[in-house]
Amino acid sequence: MTDQRKKATFAGGCFWCMVKPFDKWDGIHGVVSGYTGGQIANPTYETVKSGTTGHYEAVEITYDPFVISYETILEVYWRQIDPTDDDGQFHDRGDSYRTAIFYHNEEQKELAEKSRQLLENSGKFSKPIVTKVLSATTFYPAEAHHQDYYKKNEEHYLQDRAKSGRDKYIEEVWEE
C-alpha cells in the first residue's frame, strides 16, 4: 500500500501552543513548528520575530486522511485561536503571530473557505473573522529547540501558555 499522508499548514500565533492540540489525534503523524508565508529563504526565529520577513509562525502537520479528515483538523484549528484578532494571538503580538490557513491544494482551499464562512455565519463572534486562507508556500522548520517544545520544556511551556490567556479564551468561547 502506498503512503497516503498529506500536509496541512496553519498559523495560530505562537507555534509552541499549536503543536500539542494536534499531536494527540490518531492519524497525525507529525507536527513541525516553523515559518511560512514570508519573503526570505531560511528565516530564523529572531528574524521572523523582528516582523521584517513577512513570515508567520506556523505548524506543518503530516496526517493520514483515511484516519483523520482535513475537516476535523480544521475544527481543531479553529478551537485554538481567536479568529477575530488581526494583530497576533493573545499575548503574542505582531505580524508573525497572525492567523492563517495555508492550503496545499484546491480541495483544502474550498474546505478552509467553507469552514471559515460557517464560523463567520455561526454568530459565535461579534467581530469579523480575519483569519486568512492562503496558498501554501515554502515551509521552513524552526530551530531544533522549538520542536516539541511542550514536551522538552514542559514547565516553561505551561507557564507561558497560562500567562498568554489562550486557555481562558478557549474555555470561554468554546465552553471546554
Catalytic residues: 14
Q: What is the DSSP string of 99-156?
A: EEEEESSHHHHHHHHHHHHHHHHTS--SSPP--EEEE----EEPPGGGTTHHHHTHHH
Residue carrying the nine cell digits 469579523: 128
Burial 47-57 (b: 16+ CB within 10 A, else e): bbbeeebbbbb
| Chain centroid, CA 103 distance in Å | 12
Burial of residue 109, with CB atoms counted within 10 A of its CB: 0-12 exposed, 13-18 middle, 19 or more buried? middle
Name the β-bridge partners of 28. Answer: 63
